[in-house]
Amino acid sequence: MIEVISQLGALRAHINGWKQEGLRVGFVPTMGNLHAGHFSLVELARRHADKVVASVFVNPTQFGPNEDFGRYPRTPDADTNGLQAAGCDALWLPSVDAMYPFGADHAVRMHVPGITDTLDGASRPGHFDGVATVVARLFNQVQADVAVFGRKDYQQLAVIRYLVRDLAYSIEILAADTLRDADGLAMSSRNQYLSEQERAIAPSIHRVLQVMRDACEAGVPRSAIEASAGRTLRTAGLVPDYTVLRRPDFTEPVDGETGALVALIAARLGTTRLIDNLEFDTGI
């Protein structure tokens, strides 16, 4: 049976017990409302650890004032059952008080510089500070040997890697591939906000990413690719926030550049903001 733990003392006792047995602990941080994409993160953690802890915490500090914190879906029973079926050993389910003992507004804050100035960092001011703030706490609480994050949140993954390296956390970070529905839409808890009509439009994001990659490999200039991607999304009924090609460090590639690149899109569909990306290598 999965252990559901809400007190930090109980979590520490549990994890210390495993560590004393010489077991390697894997960690999957989530905000809950889990789907197959999250369970694939648990499976990857299982392959790299003896015991797996998942956390479910809808983190108030990473939502802007006009974002969906209040309506973010909270499904603890389904999450617990799903995690158990996925082979997770413990669920860390802290309250806001357990996570932020002085209150979220009086919390010590993290800020990762540079890579958070652009894309989602620019569109969602403070978002990555909130992510780094809670992940730093989660790492302190869980004391895992390895943690798994999804590649769908490409910039978040870069922020976590920076945090771990800069603060010398003794934890290995693994990146899990994005799971997609059959029509290409990246799995996300926010997909359930989509109406039937919006759900039919949403896979165009993945198709446009593929077109961006193909055009880049064919040598089309970057500015033309990015502009055309934006137009295609707008024609499909989305409101793009960004449609860009970047190097893995988020700097802008020159036209015809070879090497690792990533196409990234954020777009709104009705009231729902979706993000996705496609990594590729023009040198191969």
Binding mask 52-91 for ligand PAF (x = CB under 6 A): -------x--x-----------------------------
- Contacts (CB under 6 A) with ligand PAF, residues 135-164: 135, 153, 156
Report yes or no: 82 and 132 within 8 Å, Cβ to Cβ.
Answer: no
Binding mask 222-261 for ligand PAF (x = CB under 6 A): ----------------------------------------
How many C-alpha atoms does 117 have within 13 Å on its Cβ side?
Answer: 6
Burial of 96: CB neighbours in 10 Å, binned 0-12, 13-18, 19+: middle
Q: Which of 14, 38, 127, 206 is catalytic?
A: 38
> 134 vs 216, which CB is nearer to ligand PAF?
134
Gap between the Cα atoms of 219 and 131, Å rounded: 36
Verify binding: residue 275, ligand PAF, rule CB under 6 A. Answer: no
Q: Smallest gap, in angstroms, from Cβ of residue 152 to ligand PAF?
A: 9
Based on the residue annotation, tell me whether 14 is a catalytic residue of this protein: no
Segment near ligand PAF (CB under 6 A); pick from 44-52, 76-84, 100-108, 128-136: 128-136
Gap between the Cα atoms of 137 and 62, Å rounded: 13
164 alpha-carbon distance from chain centroid: 16
- Contacts (CB under 6 A) with ligand PAF, residues 11-40: 29-31
> 11 vs 261, which CB is nearer to ligand PAF?
11
Tell me the site size for ligand PAF, rule CB under 6 A.
10
Q: Smallest gap, in angstroms, from Cβ of residue 65 to ligand PAF?
A: 17
> 126 vs 237, which CB is nearer to ligand PAF?
126
Classify the C-alpha dihedral 204-187-24-17 as positive or negative.
Answer: positive
Pick from 134, 208, 216, 262: which binds ligand PAF (CB under 6 A)? 134
Question: Amino acid identity of 245?
Answer: L
Verify binding: residue 216, ligand PAF, rule CB under 6 A. Answer: no
Task: Give the other-Cβ count within 10 Å of 70's Cβ.
Answer: 8
Q: Angle at which helices 222-236 and 204-217 pack, to 10 degrees?
A: 160
Give the helix/strand (H/E) hosting 3.
strand 3-5
Q: Which residues are identified as catalytic?
A: 38
